[in-house]
Amino acid sequence: MRLRADRSKVTDEDEKALEASVRELSRGQAETSPPADAYWQNLAIRINKRVDEATSGKAISLSWAARVAIPGVVAVLSFLIGLRYYAPDRSVTPASLVEAASALPAAAVDSLVAQSLTAAESAPDETITGWVLAVPHDMASDYLCEYGGTSVLLGDLSEAEVKHLLLALGSSPN
Amino acid sequence: METLTDLELVDEVRGGNRQAFTELMRRHQKKIYWAARRMLGTHADADDIVQETFLKAFMNLGEFRGDAGFFTWVYRIAINLSLNALRKRHLIDYLQESELARKVFPAREDPQKDLEVKELESLLVKAVATLPDKQRAVFVMRYYEELSYEEIAYVLKTSVGGLKANYFHALRKVQEFLRHATQS
């Protein structure tokens, strides 16, 4: 607000009076020391040298390198490094489950087996029935002797399962 | 060469005559130097600005339309480079004074700064150094170079309106500084 008020008041006379006062106050002061004559003679030579450097082929090629080539090379290298270390390598086929399991240390395999047994113990009966296909012979014999229904069972079994079952019961398939 | 006008010399330079550019430098280097030195205070800074100014002028001569004189055009480059240098200096001063900078860069002697203080031998130069950047530029152009407000407006890319008040405020601050300094 003060600035605006002052601006409107400033006249040429005010300015000249103030300027004269400053010139009066600064009169007799040591003036800033000027450079030596040799400086002026060499100045144009130095500037011309800089102009030559800036317009020479070397400077242009450096400039081109700085603006295009170097950032370009950096970009390509970054892309390749990213491709190598961060993108999945599709050329390698995934290992089979058997290979993966066989590559595991023995202790790890034991641990996995123990875990699966624990899971089986705590699982519901119907789940276990779905999982466990190989029934022990004596258990199968007991079951069939107790409940009968052999013909119904045989109708649902395959040829191999029938043979297996009859063997368990101590009979010949024929 | 010496008989040609600035505009004729510019045409010669555009035609590939480097001697003409040397003649242009010879004509205007002192005024450019002193403008930069009064803005920045030291010979080293002024030397940098003069070199940068003429280099930039040569490289951008195609942009010179001739609507202002060659000197005014080059002068504008020099003042703008000086203002940029002042801004950088303020930034460096600010960073050096910041808490973080004190932790990262422990206090040390700065011979360049000492040199600068020694170079500010004139009270008037010291007074000008206290002015804000724009006022400093206006003061240098008006007080020392006696440029018209229209020329200053062209150099600073601003309207004539505020320049008169700007100069008046600068004069008052300088007068205050000088009075105080001479009394003490």
DSSP string, B101-131: HHHHS-----HHHHHHHHH--SHHHHHHHTS
Q: How far apart are CA B70 and CA B12, in angstroms?
A: 13
Q: How far apart are CA B39 and CA B138, in angstroms?
A: 10
Q: How far apart are CA B50 and CA B81, in angstroms?
A: 9
Nearest CB neighbour to B175, from listed A21, A31, A50: A21
Given the structure tokens 């390698």, which residue do they identify?
A92
Neighbours of B76 (CB within 10 A): 19
- CA angle A97–A99–A101, rounded 5-degree value: 65
Given the structure tokens 């595991």, which residue do they identify?
A104
Domains, chain B, ordered by start: 1-85 (1.10.1740.10), 120-184 (1.10.10.10)
Nearest chain B CA: its distance from A70 CA (Å): 24
For the record, the structure tokens of B67 come out as 């609507």
Q: Answer whether A50 touches B (CB < 8 Å).
A: yes
Q: How far apart are CA A88 and CA A94, in angstroms?
A: 12
Q: How far apart are CA A114 and CA B128, in angstroms?
A: 88
Return the pLDDT at B181.
Answer: 84
Return the pLDDT at A70.
Answer: 85
- The better pLDDT of the pair B59, A108 is held by B59
The domain locations on chain A are 37-91, 93-123, 134-174
Q: pLDDT tens, B13-33?
A: 999 999 999 999 999 999 999
Q: Answer whether B182 touches A (CB < 8 Å).
A: yes
- Cβ atoms of B164 and A7 closer than 8 Å: yes
Q: How far apart are CA B115 and CA B112, in angstroms?
A: 5
Neighbours of B4 (CB within 10 A): 14
Return the pLDDT at B24.
Answer: 95
Determine the average pLDDT of the residues in B96-114: 57
User: Does the beta-carbon distance from A35 to B165 stay under 8 Å?
Assistant: no
CA-CA-CA-CA dihedral for A11, A15, A21, A27, to nearest 10: -160
CA-to-CA dists, residue B60 to A48, A55, A72, B13, B65, angstroms: 15, 12, 28, 12, 11
Q: How far apart are CA A50 and CA B34, in angstroms?
A: 21
Selected residues 135-174 of chain B with any CB under 8 Å from a CB in chain A: 143, 162, 164-165, 167-169, 171-172, 174
Q: List CB contacts (< 8 A) between B119 and chain A.
A: 32
* Straight-line distance from the first to the last Cα atom of chain A, in angstroms, rounded to the nearest whole number: 119
Q: How far apart are CA A74 and CA B160, in angstroms?
A: 49
Is pTM beyond 0.90 here?
no
In this predicted structure, the answer to whether residue B10 has a pLDDT above a threshold of 80 is yes
User: Does the beta-carbon distance from A50 to B119 stay under 8 Å?
Assistant: no
User: Does the beta-carbon distance from A6 to B165 stay under 8 Å?
Assistant: yes
Q: Among B126, B132, B106, B147, which Cα is nearest to B38's?
A: B126
Nearest CA in chain B to A6: B165
Please tell me what DSSP assigns to residue A28: T
In this predicted structure, the answer to whether residue A110 has a pLDDT above a threshold of 80 is no
- For testing the chain A interface, which of B56, B58, B163 should be mutated: the one with the most A CBs within 10 Å? B58
Q: pLDDT tens, A124-151?
A: 666 655 554 455 666 666 666 665 555 5
Helices (H), chain A: 2-9, 12-26, 37-55, 57-64, 70-85, 97-103, 106-122, 125-131, 137-147, 150-156, 159-169
Q: pLDDT tens, B62-93?
A: 889 888 889 999 999 999 999 999 998 888 77
Evaluate whether ipTM surpasses 0.85.
no
User: Does the beta-carbon distance from B124 to A26 stay under 8 Å?
Assistant: yes
Please tell me what DSSP assigns to residue B161: T
